[in-house]
């Protein structure tokens, strides 16, 4: 009799409990229930905005919610990146991360306000694109070896431009200096456009810039490409050798992008975003959009992308140490 009563009481309790929490479950909306915000940690314009547009288009089509892009430049990309690191981990604030913000910035800033691995949940790798070692077309050098020989014979006489102290454009050049022994002087600018202008005016004699920015000037014969920084030649510039082919050992650098969320974002949300982005990157219209900036889609799982971010962060920490750059 007592056992029967106990079982009945337990059953009644379970029914009452389910009735109490059932409405709460029913009220929990499926993700995403509202617009998603994508933070781009750079100013408007340039390749990252094109990639942000691709992300917005993919997620809108796949998830039925708009993605609002917000540019948050500052501190070499650290400002916008830190903003996402500190956001609620609910899947509604995402970061368009790049090698510049998640590898270069942590390598040269003592306290950027985030950790490239611990502060984020890696969602999806998006693209890779190569950079170009470029010089003004009026200079006589036709190969990297000729440029290096001149720089060694004339220490401190050649200038290289960057998009700011600690930017990947500077790190590429400092790594080049370290590996070749070339003595060249750093002149920082505020953007890639200013770097191109400085090359055209021969204020700087070399720079490492994204191919999409340089290609029109290269095709016009105003800037010369000596080498690409990827491990293989780029189909848009089949005659430009790689840095490794040009005699600079183990010089490999690509500009990569990906989507990240704040750490502790629920895994089902991460997986849903990853699946949508990976499918979308294969769409013909998205591939066409990326081809305009000479970027190649590189889909990956969240785990694969997380491992890649960690390896790239370590790679550039090591490069900064080898080049003797002091973190500020």
Residue 311: both structure tokens together = 């390896």
Q: What is the pLDDT of residue 143?
A: 97
The answer as to whether 30 is a domain residue is no
95 and 159 assigned to the same domain: no
Residue 9 predicted with pLDDT over 90:
no
Asked if residue 222 and residue 134 are part of one domain, the reply reads yes
The tens digit of pLDDT for each residue in 19-73 reads 444 444 344 579 999 999 999 998 887 788 999 999 999 999 999 999 999 999 8
53, part of any domain = yes
Q: Within this chain, do residues 46 and 124 fall inside the same structural domain, yes or no?
A: yes
pLDDT in tens, 219-249: 999 999 999 999 999 988 999 999 999 999 9
Q: Residue 302: give its domain's CATH number.
A: 3.40.190.150
Contact between residue 94 and residue 84 where contact means Cβ atoms under 8 Å apart? yes
User: Residue 46's domain spans which residues?
Assistant: 36-129+255-323
Domain boundary among 228, 244, 265: 228
* Six token digits for residue 124: 């999806």
Strand ranges (E), 194-289: 206-210, 223-228, 254-262
pLDDT band at 132 (very low <50, low <70, confident <90, very high): very high
Q: Residue 238 has what pLDDT? A: 93
Determine the Cα–Cα distance for residues 120 and 83; give it in Å rounded to an integer: 11
Q: How sure is the predictor about 14, in pLDDT bands with cuts at 50, 70 and 90?
A: very low
In this prediction, residues 161-183 reach a mean pLDDT of 88
Residue 161 falls inside a structural domain: yes
Tokens of 96: 């368009």
The number of folded domains in the chain is 2
Do 260 and 188 belong to one domain? no
User: What's phi and psi for 23, nearest 5 deg?
Assistant: -60, -35
Instruction: Render pLDDT for 272-315 as a digit per residue (tens, 0 to 9).
Output: 999 999 999 999 999 999 998 889 999 999 999 999 999 999 98
Cα 303 from Cα 2, distance rounded (Å): 54
Joined together, the tokens standing for residue 285 give 């219209």
Q: Please say if the pLDDT value at position 252 is more than 50.
A: yes
For residues 134 and 218, give the distance between their C-alpha atoms in angstroms, rounded to a whole number.
9
What pLDDT does 28 receive?
54
Percent of the chain clearing pLDDT 90 (strictly above): 70
Residue 102 has pLDDT above 50, yes or no: yes
DSSP states along 88-155: -SSSSEEEEEEHIIIIIHHHH-S--SS-TTTTEEEEEEEEEEEEEEEEETTS---SHHHHHHHHHHST
Tokens of 303: 């785990």
Q: What is the pLDDT of residue 168?
A: 84
Distance CA 304, CA 311 (A): 11
* pLDDT surpasses 60 at 4: no
In a domain, residue 20? The reply is no
Crossing angle of helices 302-323/168-180, nearest 10°? 50
pLDDT > 70 in the chain, percent: 91
DSSP bridge partners of 132: 209, 228
CATH of the domain at 207: 3.40.190.10
Give the per-residue pLDDT at 266: 98
**3 state SS of 327:** coil
The set of residues, in sequence order, having a beta carbon less than 8 Å from that of 161 and lying 6+ positions away, is: 169, 187, 188, 189, 194, 195, 198, 199, 203, 204, 206, 207
Domain contains 310: yes
């Amino acid at each position: 009799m007592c056992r029967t009563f106990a079982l009945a009481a337990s059953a009644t309790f379970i029914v009452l409990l389910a009735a109490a929490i059932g409405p709460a479950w029913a009220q929990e909306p499926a993700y995403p229930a509202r617009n998603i915000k994508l933070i781009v940690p750079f100013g408007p314009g340039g390749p990252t905005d094109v990639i942000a547009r691709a992300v917005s288009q993919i997620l809108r089509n796949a998830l039925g919610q708009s993605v609002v892009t917000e540019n948050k430049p500052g501190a070499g990309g650290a400002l916008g990146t830190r903003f996402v690191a500190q956001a609620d981990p609910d899947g509604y604030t995402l970061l368009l991360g790049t090698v510049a913000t998640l590898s270069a910035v942590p390598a040269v800033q003592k306290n950027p306000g985030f950790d490239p691995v611990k502060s984020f949940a890696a969602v999806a790798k998006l693209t890779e694109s190569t950079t170009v070692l470029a010089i003004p077309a009026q200079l006589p050098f036709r190969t990297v070896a000729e440029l290096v020989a001149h720089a060694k014979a004339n220490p401190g006489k050649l200038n290289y431009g960057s998009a700011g102290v600690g930017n990947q454009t500077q790190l590429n050049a400092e790594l080049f200096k370290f590996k070749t022994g070339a003595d060249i002087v750093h002149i920082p600018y505020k953007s890639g456009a200013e770097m191109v202008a400085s090359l055209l005016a021969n204020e700087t004699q070399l720079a490492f810039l994204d191919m999409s920015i340089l290609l029109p000037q290269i095709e016009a014969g105003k800037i010369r490409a000596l080498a690409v920084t990827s491990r293989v030649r780029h189909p848009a510039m089949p005659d430009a050798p790689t840095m490794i082919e040009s005699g600079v050992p183990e010089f490999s650098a690509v500009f990569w992008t990906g989507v990240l969320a704040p750490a502790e974002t629920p895994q089902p949300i991460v997986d849903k975003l990853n699946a949508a982005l990976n499918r979308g990157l294969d769409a013909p219209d998205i591939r066409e959009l990326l081809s305009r900036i000479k970027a190649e889609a590189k889909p990956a799982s969240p785990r694969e992308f997380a491992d890649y971010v960690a390896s790239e962060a370590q790679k550039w920490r090591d490069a900064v140490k080898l080049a003797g750059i002091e973190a500020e």
